[in-house]
Every structure is written in structure tokens, then in C-alpha cells.
Amino acid sequence: MADLILIAASGLAREVLATVRDSGQFDVVGILDDDPGRAGTTMDGSHILGPVSDALNYPDAKVVVCVGAGGGRAGIVERLAGLGFPDRRYATVVDASVRLPEGCRIGHGNILLGHVTLTADVTIGNHVVVMPGVTLTHDDVVEDFATFAAGVSLGGGVRVGRAAYLGMNSCVRERTAVGAGATVGMGAVVLADVPAGETWVGVPARAVKRAMAVA
């Protein structure tokens, strides 16, 4: 069984711990967090060992970044890359309930929690977080550092850009795109392309500034 270190003592890290312990996929060595006040304490029975840069001190362990925001994950990955941390050491954590059909492509550093569904030819980049109950259907493409809150559903052929965030129970129409860094609000129904960096909310979803003007 491979050793695993979690980065960031977060709620997401607690969920990953529960997943890993249930599946027996990894043996968790501990958690790294930059808050000096947490060093030497424990979270859910796992020791907080020191700052993020200490990942280099455990050369035989895999690592997964447990920061909820895609931009935050990207920042940590970039920091570690600058210290010479190799991509091959990033683990992907997949809950035992998740089936990965032939033809689906999954990168490194990803977290797929309970009852995520992938259907056919789904492509997921690197350091993507997919919370419980998400459905990704045929030919969806998810770029690096995207984040899916619980219950998100994508129609077929959707593209989700780098570090985009899709809120709980939102859904996206087939053959549309959510741009890099965009945010889709909770329960939103996306029927058209969401431009990069914009926030869309509502049913049907619209840019926040337009929704406020109508109100």
C-alpha cells in the first residue's frame, strides 16, 4: 500500500481521509499545512507534520492537495514545482463507489468522492475536485483545477475550463462551455456558454450583473 500525504488541514482533507480509510487505497502518513499553530496537532486522528514545503522530506510518499478552491490548489502546485517536486508524485484519490469506464481519461492529483458517475469518454485533467453525486456524461472535458460541488450534472460534450467552480446542484446543458475561472452558482441551470471569469446564477443562468439589473 502506497504512503499518502494530504496538503491542507481542510474540510476536504477530512473527506479524503474518510475515503482513503474506507477503501484502503493508501496509508496516510499525515497532513502538511502552512499554519504554524497547527503543527504537532491532529485532525481526525491524522498528524499535522509541518508546512507544505516539507513534502520534499517524504520522497516515497504520494501527495494530494486538499484545498477546496481551484486557484488555491494551483498556487500550491506551482510552489511545489518551483521546489522541484515532480508531477509523478501526485496521487489521485477515487472513492470505492466510483466506476471508471474504459475510454475515460483521468489525470493526476484528482479527488473523486462518493457516487460520482462518469459515463463514456470523459476526460478529466489534473488536480480536479469532484464532490459526491456529480454526473459527468459522454465526451465531457474538464480542465485542470476545476471544482465541482455536490450534485452537479453536465450534459454531453460540455467543456469546463481551468479553475472553474460549479456550485452545488447546478447543471450545464450539452455542448456548452464554462470558461476558465468562471463560477456557476448553486442550483443554476446553464443553457449557454459562460465566459471566462464570469459568475452566473439563476434559472436559466445569467451573468450576475444582468441578473441584478433585472431585479
pTM for this entry: 0.94
> If you classify domain 2-89 with CATH, what class do you get?
alpha beta
Q: Using an 8 Å Cβ cutoff, are 146 and 93 in contact?
A: no
Domains 2-89 and 116-215 share a fold: no
What's the confidence (pLDDT) of residue 11? 97
pLDDT at 24: 87
Q: Which residues of 40-52 are buried (b: 16+ CB within 10 A; e: fewer)?
A: eeebeebebbbeb
Q: Is 138 a catalytic residue?
A: yes
Q: Which of 47, 115, 127, 138 is catalytic?
A: 138
Grid cell of 170 as nine digits: 447546478
* Structure confidence by residue, pLDDT tens digits, 25-66: 899 999 999 999 999 999 999 999 999 999 999 999 999 999
What architecture (CATH level 2) is domain 116-215? 3 Solenoid (2.160)
Q: Could you state, in order of their start, the residue ranges of all structural domains in the chain?
A: 2-89, 116-215
Residues 91, 107 contacting (CB under 8 angstroms): no
| Percent of the chain whose pLDDT exceeds 70 | 97
- Name which of 14-18, 66-70, 175-179, 205-209 the model is least confident about: 205-209
Task: Give pLDDT tens digits for 134-156.
Answer: 999 999 999 999 999 999 999 99
pLDDT given for residue 212 in this prediction: 38
